[in-house]
Structure formats: C-alpha cells, structure tokens
Structure 1
Amino acid sequence: MVLLDPDHPYAGRFSEVCDRLWGVGTVCVYTDTSRWERAHAATWFARPRAVLAHYSAESGSLASAAEDLRRRHDVLAVIPHNELRVEPAVTLAEALGIAWADPNDVRRFRDKSALKQHLRSVPGGPRINATTAVRTLVDVRAAQSEGRYERFVLKPNDGMNNSQIGFFSSLSSDTEIDTYLAGVGGRLLVMEEFLDGDEYCVNGQVDELGHVTIVSVYRTHHIAANGRTNLAASFESVRHDSPIFASTAEYAASVVTAAGLRRSPFHMELIVDDAGPCLIEVGARLPGAGQAHDVATAHAGSVDAFELAAQHYLGLRAMHSQTPNWEAYDSLRLRTICGISDRTERIASVQGMEHVEAMPEFVRWVTRPSIGYRVRPTIDLASSPWLVTVSGSSHEHLDEIEGRIRHVLGWNGSGATRTGRVRQGYALLAKAGARAQSIPHMVRTRPASLAV
C-alpha cells in the first residue's frame, strides 16, 4: 500500500497494521522533500522492515507517478492517513485504478460548500443549514441580502482543525468582516448559518455496500479564551445507551449515506439544537484528538479504528471480527483534555507530567508537552500545547480529574523560538549516514525519484 507524505503518526500506525495483519508492505511517496525530512526525523514507523521504498514525486504529477509505481509494485491501496492527504490520495488511487470509492464523492469531503450543496439536493436527505461560497465582502453582503444569515460563520472552504473561523451577525461592520477576510488571504470561504446548540463528534466506518458502523460519539466542551468563544477544552465520550447517542448516530449515518461515501472511515462534527442534529462538517478520514486510538480502548479491543479502516481501504478480508462492544464502551467514560496557552514562548521545563502519568485515570498522551516545543496562544486544536486522555466513572468524576490536571500541569518558558533549530535538525538527520544507522526507521539516502 502507498502512503503519501507520511508526516503524521497515523501513517506509521497504518503501516504497522497492514504488515502485521496481512503482510502488506508500505511504499512512501513524497510530493515535498521537507515532509520526507520530517517523517524520518520522527519515530512513527515502528516496523521499519514493512517500509519497502521511499520515492519522490516532486517533479511531476501524481497521475504520472502512478505509472512508475505500477511498474515497480503491486499496489493494493493508497491510504489517506489524515485530512490533508484525502484528495491527493484518491487522485493517485484513481490513476492506479484502485480508488476505494467514487473519487468525486471523496473530493467533495474537502469542499465544504459543495458537500452541503450536494446533501441538500438529495431527496429526503438530512437536515442541512444554509451555506454560501464567498470570497469578498461583496459576496458576504449579497448572501445576507437573502435574509438567511442573521448570525453566521465564515471559515476556509477546505479548512480543518477549527482554524481561522470567524463568528459574525447582521450587526457586524464592514471593517470587522474585512479584517477577518484579510487574515485568511483571499481563500475561498464557506459562509454558514450559525447553529446554536451543543456540539458533538460522531466517528464511524462505511463499507463497500454503504452500511455504516458507528464506533463512538463525543460531546465537545468549549471555553472562551484568547479572543475565541468556541475554543475546544475537552472531548467526552457519550454513552451508547443515551438518547443523544441514538439521535446523533442516526443523523450521521444519514449524512454519510446521502454523501455516497464507501469503504472509508469518517469523523463528523454536528450541533444539536431544538430542531435536532445538524451537520457542521465531516471528514472522510479517521478522527483526530486521540479519538482514533480511543476506539480500541473504549471497546476493550473488539474494534480497532486503524484495523477497520485499513481492511476496507485494502479490500481484504478481516483477520478477526470488528464488532463493537457496547457494554465495555458504556463502562468506561473517556475524556481528552486540551491544554490552553495564552502566550508565545519556548517550553524550557515541564512540571506535573509525572503526576499526571501516575494518576490511575491516565490513559495516554495525545500530544505530550515537551521541552523545546514552541507554544503560542491557543486559538484552535492545532495550537493546543498538550492533549491528554483520561478515564472516569462519570461526568462529575471527569470534571474533577480535569481540574487536578490543569492545576498540576504547567511549564516554564523562554521567549526564544525553536523553529530554525528544529528545521536545521531535520536536515542534519536526513544527511547524516552514521547517525542514521542508530535510528532503525531512518533511511540513509533521500527517496528515489519516480520517473515522471
């Protein structure tokens, strides 16, 4: 199987799963050499023998690269390990003749406006709020003239991680909106009718026939900080036997069905208001914020999100049953807590980490606070300095655990940044043959160029 620009830990997990369960090796293709440097300065590939080759496709198109890959390897799948790899992965898979779903259906998941427009067009389809593609203040005011946007949200049409989101109303001035538009640099945006309610995440898998399996539902808890009113502070699992699980799961399945998705995991964010669930956005990929790893923990190992997704991407028979264990799921409440920073600095020392890890409720670090890491004011999930997953017996118990962690976990910082030093470090690792030998997952030469 092929991984495109595997600069994320999920890439290593997919490689390990494919090798361990089916004996399928990994070929890494890089469209940007800097991503190769990042991947090989990290420790994501736990099974280096499973990685058969590294190729550079910087100089040509993915369609051209497909021809060379086809000559060199028997490719079963191209696996998109995170949001940014979904569209290029399906493009390469289409060129290889092995797309896991209709490429046009998959591409719509990276185009928020087009996806919601499509969902609204499906007879008997799910509830969808008003949306309009915009780029300028004139576009925004024209959409408002239709009378549907008393309160509205602006965000990049291909955005992720809740980044660069602006909240406005009919009272917002031209200056306020123009300031936001200048900050996003002329990108295509989606203007959405504001939904006022509780936010949930729904995670699942769809098979080749369109059957949807829901594996988890989370409630997102927000706080106001750093000028944001909707900053995610934590994600808490919702019991399977609760009415809100049933309603959000049913709605999520209806969205995925109407979207035509096949053989793919999905992560959906939605609002539940007085009218019921309504889509915020959905990705054709595994969830982030630790929720993909939570699946196996919550279901006592009876379902593994990476194994389930890999099975469908590869089109191979499951090596063991992937059946949700709802009794186990309901017996363990999980919460991922998001760190919040209010300043820009480099972490010089960390306090309280050992205390957190010694807590009986500790499950795992999603993002571990580390010395040398450059923090900045938290405005979205990507800028959280740390994320930690814990378990508890009740919502109140989890509140108490979160309070203890926020009290003991902290850092001392300095004003120096680490950006230049880290970039230089990656380059040194990529070139240092002797040092590379001591790091099993490292390759000692740059990836070979594909004949494009």
Structure 2
Amino acid sequence: MKTVLIVDPFSTGKLYAPLLNAQGIRCIAVISTRALPEHFTNDLITENFHEVYVWEESLLITLETLSLSAVIAGCETAIYLTDYLTELLGIPGNSRITSDLRRNKFSMQEALKKYPLANIASHLLSSKNRIDEVVAKLDPAATYVVKPLNSAATEGVVFAQGKGEVETALRNAAWQQKNDLGEVNLGFIVQPFIAGPEYVVDMVAFDGTYIIASVCKYTKIQKNGSMFVYESLDTLDPQATELQPLTDYARQAAAALGVQVGPIHMEIIWSDAGPVMIEAGGRLHGGIAPLLFQQVYHPDLLSLALDSYLGRSRPKADAVSQISHGRIGFFCCDKRHTFETPSPQAIQSAQADEAYCGHRYFIRPGDTTPVTIDFATCPGLFWLQSPSALQLDISTANLRNKLWG
C-alpha cells in the first residue's frame, strides 16, 4: 500500500486525505510545530490518518521506514518542512534552497526581478530601526501598501497615502508579534500600490511544467471609506484567448519561484503595464474554492495536485476545460450591529436557489459585526455554480437578500 505524508493538513489541505484514502492510499499527518494556533489544529480530522505526528528531528528515523510516495504541503505553514523532508527523504518535490521564494513576500519579488519579470519594487524592514530611512525614500503623493513578510491573506496589510501614513502604519505594525498562522512576524515590506483588476491563477507543476487549473477575477467596490471591499470572485475559462498574457506571465513567475511539484496559488494585478504578481503560495487555493472548482473545471485543481504529487503522467498544457460557471460572493456590513443568523425559512429559501452551493459566516450569533473595509473584515460568503453566467447574477441578488439582508 502506498503511503503519503501530509504536512499541516489544515485549511484546504484537509481535502487531500479523503481523496487519497478513497484511492487506497494510506495517509500520515505531521504537524510542523506545536506553536500552531487552535483554529488551525482544530481543523485536523484524525480519522483520515493512519498516524498523526508532531515534528521533531528524531521523527525522521520513523519516516525513513515508511517508503513514502509523496510529501504534501497542506497549507502555508507547511512549506519549509515539506521542502526539507522531500529533500532528506529523496522524494520529488521543491528544493528547500528556494523555499523562501514561496513564503517570504520580499524574496518572491526579488526572484521576479532576477528572472527578469514584472515585479513590485519593495522596501524591506526587519526592525523599526529602518523606518526613518525607508520613509525618506518615498513619494509624498503616492499610495503604498505595508504588509508583513510572512502573514497569510490580508492580515496586517495596510494601505497608506504618502510618507506620513506609511510611517504611522510601520510604527503601529505588529513587530515581533505572532500572526494568524502562529508564526512571529519576520518584518514588513513597503510597496507602491499597483492599480488594476485583481486575478487569481491556480497552477499545478508537473516536473516544472505548469498546468493552469483555474483563473478567477475579483470584483472590488468602493464602500465604507475603502476602495478595496471584496464583492465577488468569479471563475473564468483558462483557455480564453484574452487571458493568455496573464497565464503566460503566471507560468513564468511560477518558474522564477522554483516550483517543480504540486499546486501554486498566485495573486496577480493586471495593471496598465501588464500583469504583475502580488504574491504567491505553494499550496492549494484556500477557503471553499477547491470544492467549487470541482464543479466548474475538468480536470480540477485537487485532482491535478494529487496527480502531480504522486508522479502520475502530466496532462496536456491546455487540458483544463471550464464546464460551468462559478462565483464566490462576499457579504458586506455597512455598520456595526449584533449579528443574528437568518430565519430557518430564509435559509431554506436560499438553499432552494438553483445555483446555491453553500454559505458560511465568519462570525457567530451575538457577535458585533465589524464594518467591512477589506477581506479581513468580511463577515461571511456564499458560493454558486450554474451553466448560465446570467443565473449567477440573479442568484447573487437572491442570496444577499435572504442570507444577509
């Protein structure tokens, strides 16, 4: 029986084991560190695994006896250990020499620059001591983004206008504090804000050849004093001719980051000058997206990722077809109030919608809702699938009314 090790099988990483078990493949879990927060470790579904270990160096002796077929990165926190183990165990994977390129937001921009590919000029700060030096170099009239080096999603990201706001953001930043992943912030970067529509490209690497598994586009609106309120994420056809400059760039960027095996999740702004990568992660798209993709694309992201890790034959570059239309819609709160779930009748009515796939709230009944200004303050979402793109618009309005109001 084949055995596969999954490092940190949390977030969408928990989707791998059931599929592997169904194929008769035994799964082992390794938790990368005891410092992971509970909201991660509570995601562990122990019955999907033959054994669950917490990483320590002596565990290597046990792992060497298992004749592992693959080591899979479950989520962001797994990148370094996954690369380390594949190298020591002699399993095809991504080199630990390039691990930083898939986790550190400054290093990945430097990799694009060296390739050379379109990149975002970034100022790196590893301590508060450089704040005055960096701020002095900035344009007083420009808009900047201040973000942690090793956080996930939009945690700790601040948009700042001119030198004064950048300085305030840096002095108020969470220096040497633990982030949502349970890791200590390694520092911060300051980047000029790049305007343009935002896309997400998910790829799977087969020995350094990149299969485009999905392309999505965010719709953002100006609301609640913010220009960056997320309204929806729509799936697109990866083979669409008009998207080729985007997908060509994404493949080149993936090569610059040293991705050889497994999935890579890449966020890209299509600016007036062309596509430019914001950041990337060597793991599956987070949230519910991989489940939605199973209904929208064939073959889908999850199945391609497993084929890659297990060394199965590489599909043709244009193998992925869009077989339906999908959307993730984000709820928005315009004022603080006490959250209560909709009535059972409203939820039942929403579930009867022909495009409805599911919904999720990020807050609990009785919680005070934050005013939505970015993804981090989004109170929940829903997801839809339909053969008709028009139906998605109709269902979106229906579900916003029934599930949020």
Taking structure 2 as the reference length, the TM-score comes to 0.83
Give the Cα separation in 1 of the matches to 2:167 and 2:209.
48
- How far 1:147 sits from its partner (Å)? 5.5
Give the Cα separation in 1 of the matches to 2:281 and 2:19.
22
Deviations 1:314-338 (A, max 9, x none): 33458x9997353xx1x63211012
Code of the residue aligned with 1:398 in structure 2: it is L
The answer to whether structure 1 residue 306 and structure 2 residue 306 are counterparts is: no
Give the Cα separation in 2 of the matches to 1:386 and 1:334.
17
2:285 corresponding residue in structure 1: 287
Q: CA 1:7–1:241 in structure 2 vs 1: closer, same or farther (change >3 Å)?
A: closer
Which residue, 311, 314, 319 being the options, matches 1:315?
311
Give the Cα separation in 1 of the matches to 2:174 and 2:30.
35
Which residue, 96, 104, 107 being the options, matches 2:97?
104
Residue aligned with 1:181, SS: coil
Code of the residue aligned with 1:270 in structure 2: it is I
Code of the residue aligned with 2:25 in structure 1: it is V
Give the Cα separation in 2 of the matches to 1:344 and 1:74.
55
1:127 corresponding residue in structure 2: 118
Give the Cα separation in 1 of the matches to 2:280 and 2:77.
13
Aligned residue pairs, count: 391
1:422 corresponding residue in structure 2: none
The answer to whether structure 1 residue 190 and structure 2 residue 181 are counterparts is: no
- How far 1:217 sits from its partner (Å)? 1.1
Q: CA 1:287–1:400 in structure 2 vs 1: closer, same or farther (change >3 Å)?
A: same
Code of the residue aligned with 1:107 in structure 2: it is D
Structure 2 residue runs without a partner (length 5+): 178-184
Give the Cα separation in 1 of the matches to 2:37 and 2:139.
46
- How far 1:368 sits from its partner (Å)? 5.5
1:324 corresponding residue in structure 2: 319
Structure 1 residue runs without a partner (length 5+): 412-452
2:221 corresponding residue in structure 1: 223
The answer to whether structure 1 residue 297 and structure 2 residue 308 are counterparts is: no
8 Å Cα contact 1:7-1:38 kept in structure 2: no
Which residue, 339, 347, 361 being the options, matches 2:331?
339
- How far 1:152 sits from its partner (Å)? 1.5
- How far 1:183 sits from its partner (Å)? 7.6
Q: Over alpha carbons, which structure has the higher Rg? A: 1
Q: CA 1:126–1:38 in structure 2 vs 1: closer, same or farther (change >3 Å)?
A: closer
Alignment of 1:138-149 (within 5 A): 139-146=130-137
Alignment of 1:222-261 (within 5 A): 222-224=220-222, 228-240=226-238, 242-261=240-259
Alignment of 1:52-451 (within 5 A): 52-57=50-55, 61=56, 63-71=57-65, 73-98=66-91, 100-122=93-115, 125-135=116-126, 139-146=130-137, 150-173=142-165, 176-178=168-170, 180-181=172-173, 185=177, 187-208=186-207, 210-224=208-222, 228-240=226-238, 242-299=240-297, 302-316=298-312, 324-326=319-321, 329=322, 332-341=324-333, 342-343=335-336, 347=340, 352-365=346-359, 367=360, 376-377=369-370, 378=372, 380-381=374-375, 384-392=378-386, 397-410=391-404
Give the Cα separation in 2 of the matches to 1:113 and 1:56.
29
Give the Cα separation in 2 of the matches to 1:317 and 1:174.
49
Give the Cα separation in 1 of the matches to 2:34 and 2:343.
32
Code of the residue aligned with 1:390 in structure 2: it is L
Residue aligned with 2:50, SS: strand
Give the Cα separation in 2 of the matches to 1:220 and 1:5.
28
Question: Which is bigger in relative contact order (C-alpha 8 A, separation at least 6)?
Answer: 1
Code of the residue aligned with 2:122 in structure 1: it is T
2:27 corresponding residue in structure 1: 26
Give the Cα separation in 2 of the matches to 1:244 and 1:317.
29
8 Å Cα contact 2:292-2:385 kept in structure 1: no
Give the Cα separation in 1 of the matches to 2:368 and 2:75.
23
